[in-house]
């Protein structure tokens, strides 16, 4: 991970007059989605790069130590060894960027990764995920407990009501407290953009989260009705760019929720490259939150190598 975002003092003049041009944003989103994707060996190379940005995630009520262990093994060995050898990439140490779990499963993940002999970070959701509607004291304690158990990244959720009612000072103060509770762990702030009401609110919430010291801003919990979308991403990426121009601080971006196909992942990489540049195309500044995306990427790489699609039993489950 890169150095922490230092944040800034709250400056509401940055956002007070902001109005997002929705038709222009929608046109840009259509342009990204309509573009033809890269093919053949170029596609394989970009897909392997996409693997290194994935926060491999399980956030289910039936998570157990054994399926966390399996997830961690898949994070260390995301693509079958023989496929990597065929691409001459077997010695590049390709792993996912992190493993993301509930706070109660952090110990299981840390233990499994240690047993596997790798240093992949463990990310934990916190602060009353996914709704963020528990008492502030409880939310802060959840962060501290996850950090104590070994999480080095904390994905917090904001209280959406503060955005919907324009309580920007209160939102800033809450995220500052989340930042402090994280200690040395990196703070990834989930905006739950599908519940913020407008693209203008998405921009304002993004800017407040970065002012308050978020190291990443993230689109969604994956549990909302609407999760990661390109219009929302464009607004967030441009907020990140504006914040960098004004402060010199680079903040990361993480789309999450509904990103399931290899083709989708290539579109997300392309969008980040075009809006923020190659500097952001590294795990320190870009992540994809996903649980099933890796399976489709591995299927596409299998097809590239063998010329046929894998049967269900050909690829190990994550």
Cα(77)–Cα(66) distance, integer angstroms: 17
Cα(189)–Cα(146) distance, rounded to whole angstroms? 15
Q: DSSP letters of 183-246? A: TTSEEEEE--GGGSSSHHHHHHHHHHHHHTT-SEEES--S-SSS---HHHHHHHHHHHHHHHHH
* Annotated catalytic residue within 137, 254, 263, 273: 254
Q: Where are the beta strands (DSSP E) in the chain?
A: 54-57, 98-101, 122-126, 153-157, 186-190, 216-218, 252-254, 288-290
Q: Could you say which of 218, 223, 250, 282 is catalytic?
A: 218
Separation in Å, CA 206 to CA 4, 237, 290 = 16, 9, 21
Rounded Cα gap, residues 32 and 59, in angstroms: 29
b/e per residue, 24-43, with b = 16+ CB within 10 A? ebeebbeebeeeeeeeeeeb
Please say whether the beta carbons of 159 and 132 come within 8 A. Answer: yes
Residue 55 · residue 123 · CB < 8 Å: yes
Q: Is 74 a catalytic residue?
A: no
Which residue, among 103, 148, 101, has the nearest Cα to 127 in the 3D structure?
103
Give residues with Cβ within 8 angstroms of 3, minimum separation 6.
none
CA distance 262 to 95: 16
218 is catalytic: yes
* Residues noted as catalytic: 218, 254
């Amino acid at each position: 991970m890169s150095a922490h975002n230092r944040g800034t003092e709250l400056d509401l003049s940055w956002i007070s007059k902001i109005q997002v041009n929705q038709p222009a944003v929608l046109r840009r989103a259509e342009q990204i989605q309509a573009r033809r994707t890269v093919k053949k060996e170029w596609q394989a190379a970009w897909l392997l790069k996409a693997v290194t940005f994935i926060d491999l995630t399980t956030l289910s009520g039936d998570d157990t130590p054994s399926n966390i262990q399996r997830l961690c093994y898949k994070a260390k060995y995301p693509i079958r060894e023989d496929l990597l050898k065929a691409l001459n990439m077997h010695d590049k140490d390709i792993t996912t960027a992190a493993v993301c779990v509930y706070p109660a499963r952090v110990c299981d993940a840390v233990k499994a990764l240690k047993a596997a002999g790798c240093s992949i970070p463990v990310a934990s959701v916190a602060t009353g995920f996914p709704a963020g509607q528990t008492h502030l004291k409880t939310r802060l304690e959840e962060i501290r407990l996850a950090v104590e158990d070994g999480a080095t990244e904390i994905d917090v959720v904001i209280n959406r009501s503060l955005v919907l009612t324009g309580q920007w000072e209160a939102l800033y103060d809450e995220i500052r407290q989340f930042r402090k509770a994280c200690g040395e762990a990196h703070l990834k702030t989930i905006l739950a953009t599908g519940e913020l009401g407008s693209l203008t609110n998405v921009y304002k919430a993004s800017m407040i989260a970065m002012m308050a010291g978020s190291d990443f801003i993230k689109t969604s919990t994956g549990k909302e009705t609407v999760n990661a979308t390109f219009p929302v991403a464009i607004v967030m990426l441009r907020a990140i760019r504006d914040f960098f121009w004004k402060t010199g601080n680079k903040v990361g971006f993480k789309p999450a929720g509904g990103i399931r196909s290899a083709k989708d992942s290539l579109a997300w990489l392309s969008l980040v490259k075009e809006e923020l540049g190659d500097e952001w195309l590294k795990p320190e500044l870009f992540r994809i939150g996903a649980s099933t995306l890796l399976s489709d990427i591995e299927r596409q790489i299998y097809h590239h190598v063998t010329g046929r699609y894998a049967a269900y039993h050909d690829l190990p489950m994550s």
